[in-house]
Amino acid sequence: MTRDGSRFDGFAGQALVEVPPVRLEDRRIEVLVPGTSDTWVTVPAFEEARSIAATLDALRRQRLRPLVVCVVDNGSTDGTPEVVRRSTSAFADASVGLRLVIEPDRGTGAAADTGMRVALAAGARYLLRTDADSLPRPDWAGRMRERLAGGIDLVAGRIVARDDERLSAAEYLAVAVLMKVGAFGAVLHNWRLGYRTRFRLMTGANCAIRADVYVRVGGFPRARIDEVHDDRALMNRVRRISDRVVSDHEAIVASSARRYRGYGAAGVLRWYMQHETAGRPIDVR
C-alpha cells in the first residue's frame, strides 16, 4: 500500500501496489442452471435481497438466446444468495443459464471482475454487466451483443429511472437533468492527451465489452467502491487502446434512484466526479 493508503490511481484504476488476480479454483461457483453461450451477463451483488429478484426476472425475460447470467455475491448477509437460488426453476423454464459465485474480496470492481473471469473461462466472447438493482429492457442483451459482434469494443448504454420507485415528476426531471449534466461533466473531467477517443459516461449498470479487449486492458480493477470507480476506470483503459467505443441510447437499463435519494443531486455529482460523499455512507442501500 502507498504512503497515503491508496492501492489504485483514480483515473484508469491502475494498481499502485501488487493486487493478486482472482484464482477461480478458490471461488465457490454454483451452476444453478446449466447452459453455454457466447454472451454472459455479470451481476455484482451485495445486500440486494430486496432488489435482485426483479433484476433476475428482467434478465430471464431477455429475448436473446442462448444467454448465461452470472450473479457474483460479495459477502451479503441479508439472504441475497438464497434469492438467486430460488430463481433456478424460472431460469430453467426460460432456457437461460444461471451461475452463482461467492466472491470474498470486497468491492464492486473485484466482484465484477470475478464474474467476467468466470465467463471468460467458459468461452464467452461478449461480456455484459448490469447491477442488482437495475432492470434491463427485454432487447438489451441482444442489442449489446449485436454492437459487439459488429466490431465495437466497448458499449456504454443508457440509464433511465425505474418506473416502480414512485418518483415524483420533479424527481424524474432531476434524475434526467443529472444524467445530462453528469455526462457533460464526465467528458471534461476525464479529458487527457494520449487517448484514442473521447470519454463516454458509462455506469456498471449498463455496459458491454468484447472478451478479447477485456483481457487486453486488464479488466475491471479489483477495487472497493470507495477506492475507484471501476466502470470509469474500464472506460479509460479501453479508450487508451481503441477508438471503437460508443454510447448506445437504445440499449436501455432502468436503474434505482436510491443514490440520488441518499445523496441529493449535488452529492451524486460530487460522487461521480470526485469520488467524495461529504461524509455520507459509501454504499447507499
Strands ordered across the beta sheet of 28-33: 28-33, 97-102, 68-73, 39-45, 126-129, 207-210, 154-161, 245-255, 134-136
What domains can be seen in the chain, in order of their start residue?
24-274 (3.90.550.10)
3-state secondary structure of 122: coil
pLDDT per residue rounded down to tens, the chain (285 residues): 444 457 877 667 777 788 889 999 999 999 999 999 999 999 999 999 999 999 999 999 999 999 999 999 999 999 999 999 999 999 999 999 999 999 999 999 999 999 999 999 999 999 999 999 999 999 999 999 999 999 999 999 999 988 887 767 776 666 666 666 666 666 666 677 789 999 998 999 999 999 999 999 999 999 887 788 899 999 999 999 999 999 999 999 999 866 655 666 555 556 555 554 454 544 544
Q: How far apart are CA 144 and CA 152, in angstroms?
A: 10
